[in-house]
């Protein structure tokens, strides 16, 4: 992880992903509120999204959420879901390497996707599969909060 722009030192983002936020509603709401509150703090939001344009984030959002939505809507275990999630992870890393999204945002998205991928890989029982679907649903909500942040900041 740790995407470097190669443009000198970069400040660390104020927003750190808490993997537990995907597991409980209280922590999920706390994470979403933390993201949305950033819109009132210019320095912190700049450190988190950097020069990410709303168009660049929408592209990433679309591919990442399509993989998450496929998992959320799945009725049975579909082996292509892991491929779709891996494709989303590749897209995040690719856009960060092209400086289309900030390294802090890419790191954050990478951690979210990695948690969902880990849950899908480890889903040996129906209960674990349902937990993976819940994590994907919660991850989707966090990504939607980020698109609000990016769009609001870039107006």
Q: What is the DSSP string of 81-106?
A: HHHHHHHHHHHHHHHHHTTSS-HHHH
DSSP code for 14: S
Closest C-alpha among 105, 94, 115 to residue 143: 105
Do residues 106 and 95 touch, judged by C-beta distance below 8 A? yes
User: Quick one: average pLDDT of 1-16?
Assistant: 48
For 134, list phi and psi in degrees, rounded to 5.
-65, -40
Whether pLDDT at 57 is above 50: yes
* pLDDT score for 154: 65
Q: Whole-angstrom Cα distance, residue 154 to residue 53?
A: 7
Read off φ and ψ for residue 2, nearest 5 degrees: 55, 65
Residues 60-81 as b or e (16 or more Cβ within 10 Å = b): bbebbbebbebbbebeeeeeeb
User: In this predicted model, what pLDDT tens digit does every residue of 93-151 receive, in sequence order?
Assistant: 999 999 999 999 999 999 999 999 999 999 999 999 999 999 999 999 999 999 998 88
Residue ranges covered by each domain of the chain: 19-153
Kindly indicate the confidence band of residue 40, based on its pLDDT and cuts at 50, 70 and 90.
Answer: low
Contacts of 84 (CB under 8 A, 6+ apart): 66, 67, 70, 71
Residue 70 has pLDDT above 50, yes or no: yes
């Amino acid at each position: 992880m740790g995407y470097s722009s190669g443009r000198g030192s970069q400040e660390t983002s104020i927003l750190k992903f808490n993997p537990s936020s995907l597991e409980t509603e209280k922590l999920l709401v706390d994470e979403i509120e933390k993201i949305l509150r950033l819109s009132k703090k210019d320095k912190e939001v700049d450190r988190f999204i950097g020069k990410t344009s709303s168009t660049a984030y929408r592209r990433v959002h679309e591919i990442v959420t399509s993989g998450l939505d496929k998992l959320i809507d799945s009725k049975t275990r579909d082996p292509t879901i892991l491929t779709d999630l891996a494709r989303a992870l590749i897209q995040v890393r690719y856009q960060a390497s092209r400086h289309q999204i900030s390294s802090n945002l890419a790191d954050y998205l990478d951690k979210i996707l990695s948690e969902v991928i880990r849950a899908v890989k480890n889903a040996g029982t129906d209960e674990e599969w349902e937990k993976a679907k819940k994590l994907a649903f919660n991850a989707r909500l966090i990504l939607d909060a980020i698109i609000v942040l990016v769009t609001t900041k870039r107006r």
